[in-house]
Chains A and B, each alone.
Chain A
Amino acid sequence: MNNRVLNYIPKDSFIHRLSGTTKLIIFLTFSVLCGLSFDTRVLIVLLLLSLLGFRLSKIKLSEIRLMSTFLVIFITFNFILLFLFNPDYGTEMYGTRTVLFHLVGRYYVTAEQMFYQFNVALKYVIGFPIAILFISTTNPSEFAASLSAIGVPYRVSYSVSLALRYIPDIQKDYHEIAQSQEARGVGLGKDVKLVERVKNAVKILLPLVLTSLQRIDTISNSMQLRSFGKNKKRTWYVKKKLTTADYSVIAFCAILFIVGMIVTNQGGSNIYNPFI
């Protein structure tokens, strides 16, 4: 069970001490702002803040190497594909065309396209660290409580917690089932052809679903017998009380969001256009 890609990395830092609710608000503020804004100035401020957050969390790059590698590969591919599919999108967006050089056929590298793609990459570079930061500094136990605090019904938010609880079990089931199927000729190893491997993986689904259904029956009985769903609200054993630091951070997020949106929408469009 040590191979989980995303996990909580317990440390004592300013970010770790914030309540889950606050971290969720930071995460949402950044994601929404980052998603809506094409204003490079706003994005750069967000980037700096997210790097600052990372620094404060004391999480080392080596601890999230897998995710960072994935991020670099993803952005590179994304950059290339964006250009291949529509090399003139930047021109349409900014309304000008400054050709830097010609590649082949219809592929001209324009300053507008490069600037557009730079902005997209920037969004990912902001979004990923914030997501990783949220996941690796929030105790999974606090997830459900923090979702519930921002108004998500507890029945929904608790299912997040349950999923986290049962992922290791289901992984273990899957592993065991796969081994026993392999013994009967249903191969999933590298020596089996890809098509065959996919077909065989499907064969594992039935036993996996059956065992999972058994689990669900037990869990739901156990939950009902301990009053889950009795009241409209519930309290949380692990919920952290909001401190001054939390309130300040939340206030800062609110201001950041408002200022960010105003700056972004200056001149009636969410694009910062250096070409006009």
Chain B
Amino acid sequence: MSEMTPIISFKNFSFQYNAQKRPTLKDINLDIYPGEKILICGASGSGKSTLGNCINGLIPFSYNGKIEGSLTVDGIETKNSSIFELSTRVGTVLQDPDGQFVGLTVGEDIAFALENDCIEQGRMIELTDHAAMQVGIEKHMKKAPYDLSGGQKQRVSMAGVLVDDVKILLFDEPLANLDPATGKGAIELIEKLKKETNTTVVIIEHRIEDALWENVDRILLMADGCIVADKKPQDMLRSPLLNEYGIREPLYLTALKYASADINKVEHIDNIRQLNLEKEEVNSVRDWYLSQQRQQTVNDNNYILETQDLSFAYDGKEYVLNDINVKIRKGEMLSIVGRNGAGKSTFCKLVCGFEKPQKGKVFFKGKDVTDTTIRHRAAHIGYVMQNPNQMISQIQIFDEVAMGIANIGLSKEEIQERVYETLKVCGLYEFRNWPISALSFGQKKRVTIASILVMGPEVIILDEPTAGQDLRHYTEIMEFLKDLNKQGITVIIVTHDMHLMLEYTSRAIVFSNGQMVDDKAGSAVLCDPELVEKAALKETSLFNLATMCGIDDPVSFVDCFIDCDRREREHE
């Protein structure tokens, strides 16, 4: 390797955004060689996306700032180049598959770079068709973005950079916004493209268990603008660094650690599909499992929310939900999972009264509320949207939270009292006189939750509350929701995060194609391969581990792991 010329080379490289007081990247030294596949991980704010933006030229040509040191990409010093020159070498697939879809149809979007390069039409169609074949989207060339799934849009983005015959493919959090099965497909496609086109691949992603579904050559760990570790995947996983820097390690690895198995002896520790356990490790896992005590949960029949044969079609013809029957107990914390477009969000909108069902009923505490207004229902069932920017309409935190109770006939003092109380619950009291723009994403999320809680709902529904959050913020938001739940509020979470489902919710309702296909504990869902397939979920590696160790009840094994994990973390 050392004799090859690196295709990407950082030398004493620092970068500081004009708007920031301190550099975001500090003294980076990094060589990436042609044909390598690199995974860059790090918590939010570690500088990993900034590093990616330096490689593709968005820095310094779109985001201005001060560069020190040198960065060469394919032999070109980036700061003396241009974003256009770099873009013919580096193909970037951004995080949001929807937002980067520029064309009106798939074909136009793939051809976008060629159009800008003034390629003649005949040749352009040839190149576009070829790229579409590479990613397997050739049958949808005339479709518009809103007729495509998230995974299909991502494929279009990939084809859109492949037309340029780039040498480097850069993926910025390719797994965010995708359902688990689609995410797995994306990782497989990246591997296929790498093999076919012999490109260098850089993946920026903090969900490393999912990213490691296919092998990578090296993992870079970033923290606070520096590269703190640069290791082969096996070595990185065996070191304690991931945990130290707030990256979630693969679950099977954590399980092996709890079982006191010697992870240094396990071959292929970086890939669950190739994991090679010796008899000794298998025995440690089995012994650990047998030593765990299992808790039985007691269920009562005190339902707070029920739906009966709920059916809905946006246009009155094509049903996106069919005969949904769900019963939710008071004080439960449960998740709703399933593929994008399976009807999860639509179901929530019906429950909250945002849309009216064509058929069926919604009961709250046994009372039929199907025909009540949004406003009426909001007093009992709150809905928190995924993107806080879609909810925030005031400048000040106090005003934002007060909005929901401004017009219900309370005195000024009463409003203030209730807002303060809610802010205290949400840990925002000290910020009460701050403008919302000064808050972090996680804090904004809390403001939106507070603005719903202030109305005193007994049920709160959250759409993807942790999307795009690193482990620390994820834990912060989820622990907060758990506290609310302990105070008696029923919490329903729509999520793609299988770990969230396992770790925090006692039960998962599974949607597929507008139908509720199952309703059971998260551990049972993920140990049911048929259901996993049907609902576009992803098996948990704990299931694979249990099978590998010959444990006959994988569901109970997963439950034991989650219990043990919770105890361990409460210890910390």
A contacts, CB < 8 Å to B: 1-2, 140-141, 161-162, 164-165, 168-169, 173, 176-177, 179-187, 189, 203-204, 206-207, 210-211, 214-215, 218-231, 233-239
Contacts and interface: CB of A to CB of B under 8 A. Distances in A.
Nearest to A1: B146
A237 B99 contact: no
Nearest to A189: B373
B275 interface: no
B393 to A, nearest CB: 5
A228 B116 contact: yes
A247 to B, nearest CB: 19
B78 to A, nearest CB: 14
B387 A211 contact: yes
Given A180-B391, A226-B102, 5 more contacts: A185-B407, A221-B94, A225-B83, A225-B92, A226-B116
B105 interface: yes
B115 A237 contact: yes
Given A221-B62, A226-B87, A235-B115, A181 B104 contact: no
B392 A206 contact: yes
Nearest to A139: B104
A9 B198 CA distance: 44
Contacts of A169: 98, 146
A226 to B, nearest CB: 4
14 contacts: A141-B103, A141-B104, A173-B390, A185-B375, A185-B403, A185-B405, A185-B407, A206-B394, A207-B390, A219-B102, A222-B102, A225-B58, A229-B84, A236-B115
A210 B389 contact: yes
Given A179-B354, A207-B389, A227-B87, A219 B99 contact: yes
Contacts of A235: 114-115, 118-121, 124
A225 B87 CA distance: 6
Contacts of B99: 214-215, 218-219, 222
Contacts of A2: 315
A9 B447 CA distance: 45
B104 to A, nearest CB: 5
B501 interface: no
A156 B84 CA distance: 20
Interface of B: 56-58, 61-62, 83-84, 87-88, 92, 94, 96, 98-105, 107-108, 111-121, 124-125, 128, 145-146, 157, 160-161, 164, 315, 349, 352-354, 373-375, 377-378, 382-383, 385, 387, 389-394, 403-408, 451-452, 455
Contacts of B392: 206-207, 210
A111 to B, nearest CB: 51
Contacts of B408: 185
Contacts of B61: 224
Contacts of A220: 62
Given A141-B104, A204-B393, A225-B56, A179 B374 contact: yes
A224 B407 contact: no
Nearest to A184: B404
Given A179-B354, A215-B99, A218-B99, A226 B58 contact: no
Nearest to A231: B118
Contacts of A230: 84, 116-117
A215 to B, nearest CB: 6
A234 B102 CA distance: 15
A40 to B, nearest CB: 41
Contact of B383 (A164, A173, A183): A183
- Name the residue in A187, A224, A227 with the highest tally of chain B Cβ atoms < 10 Å from its Cβ: A227
A222 B116 contact: no
Contact of A239 (B88, B121, B157, B387): B121
Contact of A183 (B103, B108, B354): B354
Contacts of A239: 121
Going nearest first, the 7 A-B pairs with the smallest beta carbon separation are: A218-B99, A222-B100, A183-B378, A237-B111, A226-B113, A184-B404, A227-B116
Contacts of A218: 94, 96, 99-100
B64 to A, nearest CB: 14
A231 B61 CA distance: 16
Contacts of A231: 116-118
Contacts of B119: 235
Nearest to A165: B104
Nearest to B99: A218
B569 to A, nearest CB: 33
Contacts of A181: 393
